[in-house]
Each structure stands twice: as structure tokens, then as C-alpha cells.
Homo-oligomer: A and B are copies of this chain.
Amino acid sequence: MAFLTLTNIRKVFGMAVAVDQFNLQVERGEFLSLLGPSGCGKTTTMRMIAGFETPTAGTIHLDGKDMTNISPTKRNVGMVFQSYALFPHLSARDNIGFGLKIAGQSKDAIAKRVNEMLALIKMQPQADRFPHQLSGGQQQRVALARALAVKPQVLLLDEPLSALDAKIRESLRNEIRDIQRALNITTVYVTHDQEEALSVSDRVVVMSAGHIEQIGTPLEIYSQPQTLFVADFVGSMNFIPGTVIDNKGNVRCASHTFNVGTNVSAFSANTAVRLALRPEELRVYNREPQQPDSFPVTLNSAEFMGTTYRLHLAAGELGTLLAEVPANYARTLHTAVGAPLQVQLPSEMLRVFTA
């Protein structure tokens, strides 16, 4: 049995099903993210692990013990909140020592452990400041230290970076990841931000409407989405509606026919499908010379993204296509609004979903 196991978890609030058929096994030392839009049940799931909610059905085991109905005060689970939730009347030091004091440790033991934690988050100089004297990023680091001080078996982070600015968000997520690695602590991270989930996790659980859509490594989630929801929610994706016309992998989209190889063998002829392709997988050329298997498009607008340009392309019956090309390459293209371009959809990249 895995270190943390959720089995057939179901949670109902009044008439609303918040979480259903939730099965998950988290290994010791793993960094796992729950990713999904707001209201998908990810926070409820985490709150059941913390003990703040009791599952309507199902069991939660931690290190072999059934935790399903244990009080949150007895679970030995560390929690970090979006709003930091530091105790306003206590200094950073006393916040970190709060749990140790409750555990009845000696003053010396508390002081020693608090100093270790302050070193870990590199905040010894600010140890005696009060929360309102600290920046948001510093407050969240103190909250992390407070949760870790009591040596919890599992660390739970509930959208810990949502209240912070973009630059601090990026540096703090790397710091959290480094600390997690150094302590090898089993971690469950809740976020609605796919970039955050992909960049720090060992595995990602994508949720929607209370159930699991896909579990996998960040690379699997991004490059092999199993459902239309995951394809749409994670990263940008072009969707092209079409119909399967034979069992040789040919799909008709408006007047175009694309061969998607064997991908389509699972679908019988005449099935309505949607082809999916990431913007960076489209190949964009100037109109001349004509490329094989390409079709003409017109540039609607170009967004400069730093390392890349994002091109909004009018593709006639296929609607608007989004393409992302390296900034260097974009310089070789016609980029005036209305410029004539051509596009190739590499058939080996085309994913197929039931419409």
C-alpha cells in the first residue's frame, strides 16, 4: 500500500457532489499536485486529507493507518494556506514554534528546531518580526516553516502562491520544491495554475467537476492529454472539428482532409471528432514557396511573447488557428496584419478526441 492512499472517496455537501470516485496513491517523498479550475473539488479533497472535512464515503490511509475519522488535531499533517494564516500577535519565531509548544516540547528543543527552520527558509534576520512587518513572500515562507517544524508526515499546500506577484511566485515555487526535495517530505499541492503544477510536480492529478480526469507526470499531462478537458485546460490548444471518413486514419474537416494515422482506429467511420494541436506544433511559412500538405491562412494579429510570437491566423472554414513560433523565426515571416501565410498541420502531432 502506498504511503498516502485515498480509496473511493466521495464528498457530498447538501445536494451537491463535491468529489466522487476519487482514488489516489501517493508514494513517500512524492510531490503531487491537484490541478483544476475553481470548484473542481481539489481543495475539498485536500481538506479531507487534512481532516477539516469528513468523507461521505471512502477511506484515507496514511502510512498504513486508517485516518478517515481522526480529528485534524491528531493527524500530524502540515498545512499551508493561500492567505498564509500566520497568527498576527506572534513573531515569526513564535509562529514557527506554535505547534512545538502544543506538543509539549522543552524550551531548548523548541528554540533549536525553530532556528533550524529559520535557517531552512533563510529568514534568521527577520525572526522577531511580526507578520504585518513581513512581505507576502516572507509570510508564506514562515507559514511553510511553521507547518514543517512539527515534522508532519504529509505537507499540504492550498494554492500557496496565489496571493503573490508573478516574480515572487516563480522564485518561491522553486524554493518550496528545493525544500521538499531536501526533506524528502510527501507533498500534496493544490493549484489552479497549470504552469505551477507542471513545473514543480512529480505527478499531476487533473480534476474537473469532482472527478479525476487524468493522473500522470507533467510531460504526460502536457503531451498526451487523455480527455478533451485536459487538452483544453492544460496549455493552449487548437481544436478543429471534423468527421472520421474511413478506418485508415483520414478525418475530414470542412473541405480539408487530414490523415492522423492509426490514432483514429478507435473511432468508427462517421464519428464526429475534434482534432487537437498545440500552437507550437503548427508549422507556419510565408505563402511562397508552396509547402506540401499546407493550406493558406491570413495573419489577424501577432502577439509578442518575448521568446516567441503568438500568431492569430484566419484559416477560412477552419476558423481561427493559434500558432506559436520562436521570435527569431518570426522575423523571417511576413508579420503585417493581413499578411498571407501558409500552415502545415503535422499529422503525427494531431490528437483526436470525441467531439
Contact = CB atoms under 8 A, between A and B. Distances in A.
Interface of A: 165-166, 174, 177-178, 181, 192-193, 195, 198-200, 218-219, 222-223, 234-235, 278, 280, 301, 303-308, 310, 312, 324, 327, 337
Contact of A198 (B181, B199, B222, B306): B306
A174 B300 CA distance: 11
A324 B306 contact: no
A95 to B, nearest CB: 26
Contacts of A177: 301
The oligomer's copy count stands at: 2
A61 B266 CA distance: 66
Nearest to A195: B305
Given A306-B198, A324-B307, A301 B178 contact: yes
Nearest to A170: B236
5 contacts: A166-B193, A198-B303, A219-B304, A278-B307, A307-B324
B198 A304 contact: yes
Contact of A304 (B178, B199, B303, B337): B199
A200 B303 contact: yes
A312 B195 contact: no
Among A195, A223, A234, chain B packs the most CB atoms within 10 A around the CB of: A195
A96 to B, nearest CB: 26
Contacts of A165: 192
Given A174-B312, A312-B174, A303 B199 contact: yes
Nearest to A278: B307
Given A198-B304, A199-B305, A222-B304, 17 more contacts: A165-B192, A166-B193, A174-B301, A174-B303, A174-B312, A177-B301, A181-B301, A198-B303, A199-B304, A199-B310, A219-B304, A219-B327, A235-B306, A278-B307, A280-B307, A307-B308, A307-B324
Contacts of A324: 307
